Structure 1
Amino acid sequence: MTPTPKSWKPFGEQLEILMERGLQVDDCEAAKSYLQRIGYYRLSGYWYPFRQLERQQGDGGKISDRRSNVFVAGSHFREVVQLYVFDKKLRLLALDALERIEMALRVDIAHLLGKQDIHAHENPNCFHGHFSKQIQRKGYAKGKTWHQVWLERYQQNLHRARREPFVEHYLKKYGQLPIWVAVEVWDFGMMSKLYAGMKPADKGRIAAKYGATDGGTLAEWVRSLNFIRNVSAHHSRLWNINVLERSAPLVDDSYWQTLSNARPFFYFCLIQKLLRNICPNSTWAQRFQALVQEFPATVSGTVSLQDMGMPESWETWELWR
């Protein structure tokens, strides 16, 4: 039987529900304003860890914990907002770094492949056979190669950008874009997939520049960072998200071995590792450290930087100095 959908509620009633469940509100008008500007549902992801855990017995007698609707004693609405603001700044900081990484990789891919063929991105012979020749037997790519699927996405982006002066000029004059121009209409995901489809030797040349052991490892990093980029670009919660596109743990040193590749901090460390190669004089690490100092100190102590995957004394790690 389908449950009855929740009914629409005015902002004042939304706030009353939160207060009835134990969330302390020091300024009702300010709290209502945040609900009006950010939304109950979006903020609910930030007050979720402030909700009490309760034990329940499931089928087969299995015991598990679930979040109740009641808030932990001492939970404040202002702390929820502070956590939201921290996460917003974290997303913007991630996007700032990922833009630099994306631009650098675009140049490397275009420069290497462009030497082979100025239209390499459209030439299946410039890529690994699994990407450019193997026909897929199921899923949305059924009957096509992954390169053909990629080219369809490329043509869609090219069509959307057709009024851009540089696109219009190249198409009118030459009929197609050379790869060093075509990169400008790719998104991060397209770049990630094309790099993954390159021949191992070509991928390896680029990977060596970024401190990755091989091309497959760098392709994995880029795929994970595309996940972080999508979360950030779509204004989703980032600070304690469970990362779904995971890279293999690194064993470079003892610090890397303390990190969980399911938590966001692991990928901020990857970002910093890449930035040290791309922008050695960047202050991004210092700005990240400064932002961490803004993490809200909650009365109830229900949230902490450990939820982000940060080990103690991470600031002493050479990567961040």
Structure 2
Amino acid sequence: MTPVTILNNIKVTDPTTPLNNAYQGGPFSVSGESMTAQSYQISKPPATFEEQLQILKSRGLIVEDEDFAIRKLKKINYYRLSAYGLSLKRRGTYIPGTTFARIYNLYEFDRRFRYLILELAEQVEIAFRTHISYHIAHQYGAFGHLEAAHFDNVDYHQSFLYALTKEVQRSQEQFIRHHLDKYHGDIPIWVAVEVLSFGALSKLYSNMKLEDQTYIAKTNYRVPAVYLKSWLKCFAYVRNICAHYGRLYNRPLTSKPRLSREWKARGIPQDRIFAPICIAKQLIHDPQIWSDFLVRLEALFSAYHEDVELHRIGFPEDWEALLRKP
């Protein structure tokens, strides 16, 4: 079967799955019972912005400027903002002296921190797209990614083809339209990698033959394949948190990267964002990019040093030395 036939014979009939299978409307089942808008059991009525502020105050939060607080609650959802106060609570009430201003400062810190991490993820992602496409193209040809024989698991490869077909069909990129119109749907690997999600690419790498994984890992990153596989999965996860404006501060990561013995000996926690930052240092080989990141990171920490507890994001006391170590 030719590459064109393989790609064109994949018929996508299942509806696109929303992010994290999120509820999109219509009845759904809870404990086997179908629920509609009329049958919801409301445990408490919605609160106005003023009432939301009173709830925070009733839990011991100090609000020095109520007008400022109301303005922020009108722009930032209560549950998004209040999550930054979780580390400042004990048994449901805020630690004495905790202010609304500090919670907002933690939110602002995390927002700016997230952009720094997203830039790191971008550097890792774009480089990896190049490395995996270059290897597949030179080892197996322009359409090597379409042949199941080049991969470990046939079912995983079929899932990859479905993901690729969906992305090609919904893409509005000019280079995709160009290949569909001029080359009858032929999508070579160096084009395919530009429409696939980072998560899909990570899974594609994980399904490659061990010798191919090892070649990419050793040649481009000087690490064993088992480490690179874990790191790419983690970075895809972190990248998605950042892209959807998720919280990094005081958040345990569910995708934990494999750490070296040296990192483990230093007590670096696998489930905090400092671990992926250490990994980025291994994956980004441009010293200027890394130096610029550290300068901006230090400036951010300096600006919010009164509010941020670095251990909440996994940073040890000697974090600067670790990240500047050659």
Structure 2 length-normalised TM: 0.82
| Unpaired runs of at least 5, structure 1 | 54-67, 134-144
* Contact 2:84–2:249 (Cα < 8 Å) also in 1: no
- 2:74 is equivalent to residue 36 of structure 1: yes
CA distance in 1, matches of 2:323, 2:277: 14
Equivalent residue pairs, number? 284
CA distance in 1, matches of 2:309, 2:275: 16
CA distance in 2, matches of 1:320, 1:35: 42
CA distance in 2, matches of 1:287, 1:256: 28
CA distance in 1, matches of 2:259, 2:186: 41
Q: 1:172 aligns with which of 181, 185, 189?
A: 181
- 2:90 is equivalent to residue 52 of structure 1: yes
CA distance in 2, matches of 1:3, 1:296: 44
Q: 1:280 aligns with which of 275, 283, 287?
A: 287
| Unpaired runs of at least 5, structure 2 | 1-30, 32-39
Identity score, percent? 32
2:7 is aligned to none
Please state how far the C-alpha of 1:3 moved relative to its aligned partner: 7.8
1:65 is aligned to none
Q: Secondary structure at the match of 2:208?
A: coil
Deviations 1:228-272 (A, max 9, x none): 111111111112211111122212x36863201111111111112
CA distance in 1, matches of 2:98, 2:82: 13
CA distance in 2, matches of 1:228, 1:96: 11
Change (3 A) 1:151 1:307: same
1:140 is aligned to none
2:141 is aligned to 117
Please state how far the C-alpha of 1:211 moved relative to its aligned partner: 3.9
Task: Give the RMSD, CA atoms, in angstroms.
Answer: 2.0
CA distance in 2, matches of 1:72, 1:318: 33
CA distance in 2, matches of 1:149, 1:50: 44
* Contact 1:46–1:84 (Cα < 8 Å) also in 2: yes
CA distance in 1, matches of 2:113, 2:317: 19
* Contact 1:79–1:296 (Cα < 8 Å) also in 2: no
Alignment of 1:216-295 (within 5 A): 216-251=226-261, 253=262, 257-275=266-284, 277=285, 279-282=286-289, 283-295=292-304
CA distance in 1, matches of 2:243, 2:303: 21
Aligned-partner residue type, residue 25 of structure 1? V
CA distance in 1, matches of 2:214, 2:191: 23
Q: Which moves more between the two structures, 97-106 or 163-172?
A: 163-172
- 2:23 is equivalent to residue 23 of structure 1: no
- 2:198 is equivalent to residue 188 of structure 1: yes
Structure 1 length-normalised TM: 0.83
1:89 is aligned to 112
* Contact 1:225–1:267 (Cα < 8 Å) also in 2: yes
Please state how far the C-alpha of 1:124 moved relative to its aligned partner: 1.1
CA distance in 1, matches of 2:265, 2:136: 33
Q: Secondary structure at the match of 2:97?
A: coil
Q: 1:312 aligns with which of 303, 307, 317?
A: 317
* Contact 2:87–2:250 (Cα < 8 Å) also in 1: no
Aligned-partner residue type, residue 193 of structure 1? K
Q: 1:159 aligns with which of 163, 169, 174?
A: 169
* Contact 1:126–1:199 (Cα < 8 Å) also in 2: yes
CA distance in 1, matches of 2:168, 2:255: 27
Change (3 A) 1:45 1:320: farther
CA distance in 1, matches of 2:193, 2:309: 40
CA distance in 2, matches of 1:82, 1:198: 44
Change (3 A) 1:254 1:220: closer
Please state how far the C-alpha of 1:296 moved relative to its aligned partner: 4.4
Change (3 A) 1:244 1:81: same
Deviations 1:170-225 (A, max 9, x none): 11111221110111101110111111111111111111145453212101100011
Please state how far the C-alpha of 1:273 moved relative to its aligned partner: 2.0
